[in-house]
Chains A and B, each alone.
Chain A
Amino acid sequence: MKLKRLGQQEVVFAIFAVLFAIFAIFLPGFATTQNMLTLLQNVAVLGILGLAMALIVIGRGIDISLIAALAVPPGLVLQMVQDGYSLPVSMVAAVALALVFGLVNGWLIAYAEVPSLFATLATGIFLAGFGQAVLFKLDVVQWSTGMNGFERLGQGAILGIPTPIIAFAVVCIVVALLLRQTRIGAYFYAIGDNPYGARVTGIPSRPIIVLQYVLAALIGCFAGFVLAASVSSMPTRIFNSTLIYDVILVVVLGGIGLSGGRGGVLNVIIGTLLIGTMLNGMTIMDISYSGQNLIKGMVLLVAVVVDSFLNPRNEETAQQGDI
């Protein structure tokens, strides 16, 4: 068989290309430079979160608490500045909070051996509750004058390219370098591919897992900065939204299997592009929010079903305990 098997990556990319072509032909105002930039800008935060999630998923974990890391530390910056602290001090406090949060996540998963789904589910709820009960006065943390200049991270442009896109690109490059060029990146794949094997070969898997969650929390925090800067406030209720599901979909749809050890930055970009194109096209077509979600869900379902036919799993190849 010379025929190269189509991976999920190729399938999703094909769907993206077809969708893009259809929109470009039939939707007036879609294939313009301006719209392209808007499209990218809208999905930049989603893409950055997708990269954080990708780091975890490659290591055979999942991080439900990313939205909390996105909402709470940046919210803390806004709140502290509002309360009179300087911006740098607030930033340091926020990053420290994200760092501690990542460490706790990592410790729970690597050392206490709580399944990542539940550990992050709980820590996410905890951090969101902590923000709500202790840190913030209002659900939407307001912008204050001390923050001036910071909004350029979300609303500015360099060489005509909006900064969120640049932020996404920078994180893409950093994560790609980490995964492909460093030993630690290779460890991520090894642990995701076979945790026990990785441990036996002498990889310090527990510290590496902690590092994954710390990195994810920091990237999530960065995504939060971009988000806060672009909307000039921090709507902490975002934790209650289905954003985390979108993030997981970006990652899984892009072809990073939840069983770990596969995929990379390219997959996140493809996943983000597909979601971005769909959302943008549907917004231009003026479909309601629920309708958009419905269509998005259907497309995702088709993608996953097609993938299951191209890369079938059966009782022999499925991994035990792999949900």
Chain B
Amino acid sequence: MQETIVRLKARYWPDHLLGEILSKRWTETAIPVIVLILVAFALSGMIDNFFTPAALSDTARQAGEVGFVVLGMALVVIVGGIDLSVGSMFALCDFCALYCLNILNWPVPAVVVATIVCGALLGAVNGFLIGYLRLRAFITTLITLIIYRSAYDLLLFGNSVKIASAMPDFPSWDFLGMGAVFGIPSVALVYLVIAVFGHIFMTRMRPGWHITAIGGSRRSAYNSGIAVRRTIALCYVASGALTAIGALFFAARLGTVGGDVGIGLEVTVLTATVLGGITLGGGNGSVAKALAGTLIVLLVTNGLTTLGVRGGFNRMVLASILLVAAIVDIRWLKNRTRIISKVYVSPTYHFLPPPPSTEVGKGGPFEQNDKLRDVTLIGEGRIEAPEDVILDRHDNLYAGSRHGDIIRFLAPDYQTMEVYAHIGGQPLGMAFDRQDNLYCCIGGMGLYRITPDRKIEKATDETNRSLYSVNDDSRLRLADDLDIADDGRIFFSEATVRYEMHEWPVDGLEARGNGRIICYDPNKGTTHTVLRGLKFPNGICIASDGQSILFAETFGCSIKRYWFDGPSKGKVEVVMDNLPGYPDNINLASDGNYWLALVGMRSPALDLAWRMPGFRKRMGKRLPIDEWLFPNINTGCVVKFNEKGEILESFWDLKGVNHPMITSMREHRGHLYLGGISNNRIGRYKLANADPDFVQYDRRWGKQS
């Protein structure tokens, strides 16, 4: 009864989603946005008519003006600096705009250009000093703050009366200040355009990535060839220009040059930046964060003003919000990865009946023996982690290696070893197609092909994204084994969509159906997922009817058949289940049966733990990862089975001397070649009663009878 509840909960409760949602980057913005929503709710509860169109459009105007400055500040903070001079630049740009308009009587477009150029130049001074002369941002912009402010005061001294007395009447200027399109203020529209562009710029374009990279690690960015100084300088120029745009709208709206224009603006803007969650010191931030921060600050200040709170209380509330948000944000950012690592592993219920016996003397097809003790070893100590092995018709032996190479041992004695192809990721399953291209699943990279003239080509590294998956499952994380259908379509397994290659045992701990089988059609160049929700699908072999594949589910301890063509198309059928070990690769045998590697044997402890998701979840939370209970992969065997799912024969190395760990095997001209992902050797076993001419893919493509 209790187990039923556990099973139902594990089946229907989407436990794995929490970790996946948390590991999305946008959840970093969650805290500021939540604060924003809370503030908005609190204020709308306290103030009548807080959300009327008029009030909103008023807020939007101010938000737009400050928002531009915050965007500039965000840019500078992301690149690893700070710009304290924004308030003074704002004042100078305001002056510039009104001077050009009221005293020089320039047309509005010229005023706009002049103001933005003015802001960019002021920013360029900062940029030159900080970017090229490498002064400290904080102290430099502090000094320019004072210089710009005194320049503004001096300029104001002679001109303020003249500016105030002039009454310019340009409709376009008024539109900048007070105009609206469909009720949306002009400034908000322009802000929206720039913000959308800024978002695309920061997340999708090269300079944006450079900016984030410099903020994240200036030294690494420099060493990887990014023009650090120029990029930093340009960020300050952009900050100046954005400040100028904000000042332009301010000038158009109010048309005044007072002594207090822009005083303390840097504090407001900095508050907005921090509240938005943009980390000081750089490398982290987004347009959305800047916007959230701006809105929080403005809603709070406007709301408090409307409430008629005394200036002092206003400040206290703002400061408290700043502090609380900063503390929460810092805690959140600091512990986010730790929380994710605690909740990401989400074990599920997995029941297996007691396994068939393998003990000596008990009989049965799995009875242990010592047949593999006599294997001869190839490349001992010279190759690392040959997950799969394959031979061509000239008897040369190919195997993957941990270093990202496909290694070739040359026939006949397999003493000469060479790097056949350097791919860069670990090669797993391999197969030859009709044209002798070597197709290979590369863990972490996808499906690759090596042409007979040793050219490496990417076949595919992505498939269609499934609609309801939180994790982006379009990229291939762990392509595992493949086989090729008669029409050239390649069916390959992806063991898990939730973990990277080196974390594959954790997927076994989870025992959820995280894997899938994918079909790549080289004729059309398309890739699509054909089966989902498989428990670590691994070996794949085209069955003798040419219309179905046999595939192994490693942690399901079963072999299944899937029809991709013919009358039963789309059907899945269990061929064998409740295997005593974890099945890995499947390959064709010369007598028409199939070879299957069992990478490790089941143990009662893990079988029991698989029925107790709560136990495994606690283990994942409380123990360090190297003390978790993992599937055993230390000893395994090779079995031969027929199409009906009957085990015909098994091959063991009981003492574990020569070849204990087996992930794949390949029959070739009367021998069985053995690969193992944790081995430093390839085994070669002489088969009795085997076809001495059998070459798997020559037989497959009809080049051999």
Contacts and interface: CB of A to CB of B under 8 A. Distances in A.
Interface of A: 108, 112-115, 117-119, 121-126, 128-134, 240, 242, 245, 248-249, 252, 258, 288-294, 296-298, 300-301, 304-305, 308, 312-316, 318, 320-323
A122 B323 contact: yes
A112 B264 contact: no
The 4 closest A-B pairs by CB, nearest first: A133-B312, A129-B315, A132-B312, A321-B281
A314 B312 CA distance: 44
B360 interface: no
Interface in B81-137: 81-82, 129, 133-137
B166 interface: no
Given A122-B271, A128-B315, A240-B263, 13 more contacts: A114-B326, A118-B274, A122-B322, A122-B323, A125-B318, A129-B311, A129-B314, A132-B310, A132-B312, A133-B313, A292-B150, A301-B143, A304-B140
Interface stretch (B174-182, B215-223, B489-497): B215-223
Contacts of B142: 245, 248-249
B144 interface: yes
B502 interface: no
Nearest to B226: A315
Contacts of A134: 312
Contact of B264 (A117, A240, A289, A290): A240
B219 A316 contact: yes
A126 B315 CA distance: 6
12 contacts: A115-B280, A126-B320, A129-B312, A129-B315, A129-B318, A252-B139, A293-B153, A294-B150, A304-B143, A322-B136, A322-B281, A323-B136
A182 B516 CA distance: 67
B319 interface: yes
B134 A318 contact: yes
B134 A312 contact: yes
Given A114-B326, A119-B323, A293-B146, A323 B137 contact: yes
B539 interface: no
- Chain B, interface size category, equals 35 or more
Given A294-B154, A305-B133, A113 B334 contact: yes
Interface of B: 80-82, 129, 133-140, 142-147, 149-151, 153-154, 157, 217-219, 221-223, 228, 263-264, 267, 270-271, 274, 280-282, 310-316, 318-320, 322-323, 326-327, 330-331, 334
A294 B150 CA distance: 5
Nearest to A295: B150
Contact of B218 (A130, A291, A298, A318): A318
A114 B138 contact: no
Nearest to B84: A245
Nearest to B218: A315
Given A119-B326, A121-B322, A290 B157 contact: yes
A277 to B, nearest CB: 17
Contacts of A133: 310-313, 315-316
Contact of B222 (A113, A129, A315): A315
Contacts of B319: 122-126, 129
B135 A308 contact: yes
B134 A313 contact: yes
Contacts of B327: 108, 112, 114
B153 A290 contact: yes
Contacts of B80: 320-321, 323
Contacts of B137: 323
A320 B220 CA distance: 11
B312 A131 contact: yes
A223 to B, nearest CB: 20
Contact of A297 (B150, B157, B315): B150
A138 to B, nearest CB: 12
A169 to B, nearest CB: 27
A112 B326 CA distance: 9
A15 B460 CA distance: 67
A293 B149 contact: yes
Nearest to B274: A118
A320 B217 contact: yes
B694 to A, nearest CB: 61
Nearest to B140: A304
A252 B129 CA distance: 16
A308 B274 CA distance: 29
Nearest to B316: A129
Contact of B143 (A113, A297, A314): A297
Nearest to B312: A133
B219 A125 contact: no
A122 B326 contact: yes
Contacts of A117: 280
A228 B704 CA distance: 104
B326 A118 contact: yes
Given A122-B322, A248-B139, A323 B270 contact: no
